Amino acid sequence: MHIMEGYLPPQWCVFWYLVSAPFIIYGVYILNRQVKENRETLSLLAVSGAFIFLLSSLKLPSPVAGSCSHPTGTGLSTVLFGPIITCVLSLIVLIFQALFMAHGGITTLGANVFSMGIAGPLLGYAVYRLGKAVNLNIFVNIFLVTAVADLFTYVVTAIELAVAVPLQGGFVFSFETFFAIYAITQIPLAILEGVLIALVFKYIIQSRADILVKLGVLTQEQVTKIMGSFS
Amino acid sequence: MNFKVFRKYKLEIIFAIVVVVFAAVFLIQNAHIQATAKPGQETWQGSDDMGSAAIESTGYTPWIQPIWTPPSTEVESLLFSIQSGLGALVIGYFFGYYRGKRESVKSA
């Protein structure tokens, strides 16, 4: 999903910076408040950020496409801390990769933050709320949130490129081309990532169910029930 | 057979099955790709690079270069490994810390 340095025309770089900026500014504010007022959640915040760090560094071969891509890892922090904090965590990873690996770029940072840190997590969060409303099994829910956040990130990247750099044949053709490159590749990786984060969530319930209750992800009754289902 | 193990580790089992299927499909697909690839054709390249190549095919040239680019794919993979390592370190630290805390409460 990384748009490389220089591959977005300058006006689109500015546009995506402007779109992403309010989310980032609000995100930094919310993150600061979270850190100050709920210090006991700090360790899970670090773990969520670390999963974005770890998973977005893994370039995995995508069996359906014959190409490689990487997961985004944003599902866990979307569920635990919401999409607004997730965009700040994604920003840190994207700056790291842009500066040290020349992967992504500083001019394209706005567009990359929007796809990975904002659009993906926002849709993931909508899925999460919906799943909660219909009382979906929490592990199935987390699987869906993670896979959707991952996949939608790549769909948005395809849209960003199709509007900014239309190939011969116009927007629809461009979108289909970029969609084939980015999103189709991503489907198996999104599934793999979803299953992994669902498994990780089990360990978090076993370790720090108290924080999950405090964050409003689960109720104490749900925790007791889930723990029982694994014994 | 003790079905309690299945009950306790159902998510681990599902994850293991998904990983095995993923790897198996990769191996089959790879055999097919290697058999049909033209000599010198690059296989399993990154989707990010394919996206950049598609843009360049329109005659677009990047208007700015990265300030620093890893001088080789080896150096690049080193940096990606450091990124994974840092992430894994933090995850391992906190899960270990949680576990240690749980055990100490139990034994106290």
Task: Spell out the domain ranges in chain B.
Answer: 1-64, 66-108
A167 CB neighbours in chain B (<8 A) are 54-55, 57-58
Residues of B in contact with A93 (CB under 8 A): 83
**Greatest alpha-carbon span in chain B:** 70
What are the structural domains of chain A?
A: 10-229 (1.10.1760.20)
| B21 CB within 8 Å of a chain A CB | no
Q: How far is A53 from chain B (nearest CA, A)?
A: 5
What is the ipTM metric for this complex? 0.94
Identify any residues that bridge with A68 across adjacent strands, giving them in sequence order: A61, B46
Q: Could you tell me the two tokens for B53? A: 């190549």
Concatenated DSSP letters of A85-141: HHHHHHHHHHHHHHHHS--S-STTHHHHHIIIIIIHHHHHHHHHHHHHHTT--HHHH
Which value, to the nearest 10 degrees, does the dihedral of the CA atoms of residues B30, B35, B39, B40 take? 0
| A66 within 8 A of A180, measured Cβ to Cβ | no
How far B32 CA lies from chain A's nearest CA (Å)? 10
Q: Does B104 touch chain A (CB under 8 A)?
A: no
Please write the tens of the pLDDT for every residue from A10-64.
Answer: 999 999 999 999 999 999 999 999 999 999 999 999 999 999 999 999 999 998 8
Among A8, A12, A43, A53, pick the best mutation site for testing chain B contact (most B Cβ within 10 A).
A53
Q: What is the pLDDT of residues B23-60, one digit of tens each?
A: 999 999 999 999 998 888 888 999 988 999 999 988 89
**Yes or no, beta carbons of B87 and A177 under 8 Å apart:** no
Name the nearest CA neighbour of B83 among A78, A93, A40. Answer: A93
Kindly state the average pLDDT of the residues A130-159.
97
A71 with A137: CB under 8 angstroms? no
If pLDDT is split at 50, 70 and 90, which confidence band does B1 have? low
Q: What is the token pair recorded at B2?
A: 């003790």
